[in-house]
Amino acid sequence: AQSVAQPEDQVNVAEGNPLTVKCTYSVSGNPYLFWYVQYPNRGLQFLLKYITGDNLVKGSYGFEAEFNKSQTSFHLKKPSALVSDSALYFCAVRGSDRGSTLGRLYFGRGTQLTVWP
Amino acid sequence: NAGVMQNPRHLVRRRGQEARLRCSPMKGHSHVYWYRQLPEEGLKFMVYLQKENIIDESGMPKERFSAEFPKEGPSILRIQQVVRGDSAAYFCASSTGTQKGDTQYFGPGTRLTVL
């Protein structure tokens, strides 16, 4: 069965410091991994994805994520946080084997990131 | 290129009424997905459609809920005889297909409140 865990409901970090939002997954076959961000009363905005290739993926707004197959993790990172990064972040996964339901994304519960000035 | 559009953005219904939520995918996208977000929870998959076809409705409640994506016009998620537990944000996403790496792009959502 496909699932995603975001172990931290909240992450607090001071502006200018590095940030990490954690995500681990369970999936059949090779994983397709995604990060989205949601601002209050808005839809989800796509940040980045891992399909194959280089384990370090770069995305929008200076965010990057590192795929670690042995630890089944896909943590979101940014070297220097901004107050405007404060939002709700979702990790999502889709499996790739024949048994997986193609198309459907499985989401974590989300991590609220707060960046203090 | 306009993004995914949903309307209405906010919908208030009384128990027992019908709710109709509309979604227009991004230009060039023929795959539509509906998700529901309950308070303090992540998004839960409901249904996946292509033009005139339901591909996967395994996340949809068996009763009162239906979805369609006609040849012309937007995708519609219909909830009949709404109950308070239907209150949630409903998000639509679209993509070009299900090839590996396809990204789903989300609309702004419809926030349904059942009184």
User: In chain B, what residues touch A90 (CB-CB under 8 Å)?
Assistant: 42-43
Please answer whether residues A103 and A39 qualify as being in contact, where contact means their C-beta atoms are separated by less than 8 angstroms: no
Among A34, A103, A106, the residue with its CB nearest the CB of B31 is A103
pLDDT in tens, A15-36: 999 999 999 999 878 889 999 9
Please answer whether residues A101 and B56 qualify as being in contact, where contact means their C-beta atoms are separated by less than 8 angstroms: yes
User: In chain B, what residues touch A107 (CB-CB under 8 Å)?
Assistant: 35, 42-44
Q: A42 versus A37: which is more confidently predicted?
A: A37
Distances (CA, A) of A35 to A14, A19, A50, A76, A98: 22, 15, 9, 8, 23
What whole-number distance in Å separates Cα of residue B34 and Cα of residue B77?
Answer: 8
B69: phi then psi, degrees, rounded to nearest 5: -145, 85
Q: Do B106 and A104 touch (CB under 8 A)?
A: no
pLDDT in tens, A49-61: 999 889 999 999 9
The lowest-confidence range among A90-94, A100-104, B14-18, B42-46 is A100-104
State whether residue B105 sits within 8 Å of chain A by CB: yes
State whether residue B99 sits within 8 Å of chain A by CB: no
Cα B94 versus chain centre, distance: 10
pLDDT in tens, B16-36: 999 999 999 999 899 999 999
User: In chain B, what residues touch A103 (CB-CB under 8 Å)?
Assistant: 31, 33, 48, 55-56, 95, 98
Over range A66-94, report the average pLDDT.
96
